[in-house]
Amino acid sequence: MPSDQSTWLIAVPQDGDSEGLLQEISPKLSQQSKSNLVAPLLIPTFKTGTLDGLISLSEDLPKQESFFTTTVAKTVDTLRNLLNNDPSKLNQHVLVNEQTVDDYILNDWKWNEGRYGVQKGLREIVDALNKEMTSIDNAMKAKLTNYNLVKGSLVQMQRKKTGNLSLRSLADVVSKDDFVQDSEYLETLLVAVPKSNIKDWNAKYERLSPMVVPRSSSSVASDSEYTLFSVVVFRRVHDEFVQKCRENKFIVRDFVFSEEELAKQHQDLETADTTEKELWTELLRLSRTNFSESIQILVHLKVVRLFVESVLRYGLPANYAGLALKPDAKTAKKTFGVLQSQFSYLRPRSNRDAKSARGGNDEFVGEYQTLMEQEFFDFVMFEVPWIVY
């Protein structure tokens, strides 16, 4: 039973015209649910090549399909993260050539002959698809890594502006007037004192070490947990004073006032913020473009796989009718039952032609017995997962 959260791509031998098949099955699917959407899927007549080549492709294509599907999913995740998990915004960006994925697949989908000419061999076509998807994956990784580095740096800078006074950057808290300037012997220290210890600080700070300037403590700023005090001491007792503060649970902040350094911090933050916004825009644009491209590449690969598996199952001539079906999730099981009933006539033909396509040779069949014994439906089906908003 295929997933009820995916669009089903189906291939069967074309015994009549594909329009007749669509006209025959559409009413049956509509009886199960008016929400079932079905459309023709034109499967090109590729060069079949050798049987060994088809078998080799049949073994390789699932791996390629897994890689392609993962790449699409990672691109969607990148868009989702950039858009803060906003479904309505995501819906505006997961488009294929400015149309929805459903419209792309279900509105008379056609093979892109300009990019993947059917006169080429199947292996050459698959290699071209894989090269394009690998390029998309590498570009996304590089751009995302660059963005995350800048974003991480910005977040780190912004974190310094948050938190309590024992942790946060003091660049926006203090001013030049809070410090003794240009003194060879004196320096101003900043001490974060827990609110519960303020009385203790006022009573002790002058005697924590020698050479503390009397009555030099001054409240600079306060938050819900700490009050930041400035205090003037002689430089020679710096280490002793810091140690005594630590013993009394007063936190001396490692801060040296420098107008040049403060200006640099402000400039670095502005630069990081501007760069992050620019890279965000670039990554959003790239992700949107690459989503459109990667979905198209994925669907083309699945059509190749439909063709390869159809040849191996039904044999020649390689002429197959395709359907794209978006099932109503609530009635997907019944809808699948309609398909099984509609194509049950293919069961004996599938087994007979599969053996015929492999030459009718028992020894040859034995060589590929594992492939032939894989579970499959009477029709060939592969799925395109829906985008979850």
Per-residue pLDDT of the chain (389 residues; tens, 9 = 90+): 889 899 999 999 987 655 678 888 999 988 888 889 999 999 999 999 999 999 999 999 999 999 999 999 999 999 999 999 999 999 999 999 999 999 999 998 999 999 999 999 999 999 999 999 999 999 999 999 999 999 999 998 888 788 899 988 888 889 889 999 889 999 999 999 999 999 999 999 999 999 999 999 999 999 999 999 999 999 999 999 999 999 999 999 998 888 887 888 889 889 999 999 999 999 999 999 999 999 999 999 999 999 999 999 988 888 899 999 999 999 999 999 999 999 988 876 555 444 444 444 444 444 444 444 445 688 999 999 999 87
**CB pairs under 8 A, 24+ apart, for 372-378?**
376/309, 376/313, 376/350, 377/339, 377/340, 377/343, 378/340, 378/343, 378/344, 378/345, 378/346, 378/347, 378/350
In eight-state DSSP terms, residue 77 is H
Supply the DSSP symbol for 98: T
Closest CA relative to residue 127, chosen from 82, 61, 78: 61
Strands (E), the chain: 6-13, 37-40, 186-194, 218-222, 226-234, 251-253, 320-326, 380-385
> Which residues on neighbouring strands pair with residue 326, listed in sequence order?
37
pTM over 0.95: no
Is residue 10 within 8 Å of 339, Cβ to Cβ? yes
Residue 299 structure tokens: 């669907």
Q: What are phi and psi of 193, to 5 degrees?
A: -115, 125
- Location of structure tokens 């004196």: 186
**Tokens matching residue 79:** 């868009």
Which string of b and e fits 117-153 if b means at least 16 CB within 10 Å? eeeeebbebbebbbebbeebbeebeebbeebeebbeb
Question: Parallel, antiparallel, or unpaired for β 186-194 and 226-234?
Answer: antiparallel
In 51-121, where does DSSP find H-type helix?
Answer: 51-82, 87-91, 101-106
Domains of the chain, residue spans:
6-63+75-125+306-385, 176-256
Q: 176-256 maps to which CATH number?
A: 3.30.70.100
Q: What is the rounded CA–CA span in Å between residue 215 and residue 203?
A: 11
The reply to whether omega before 87 is within 30° of 0 (cis) is no
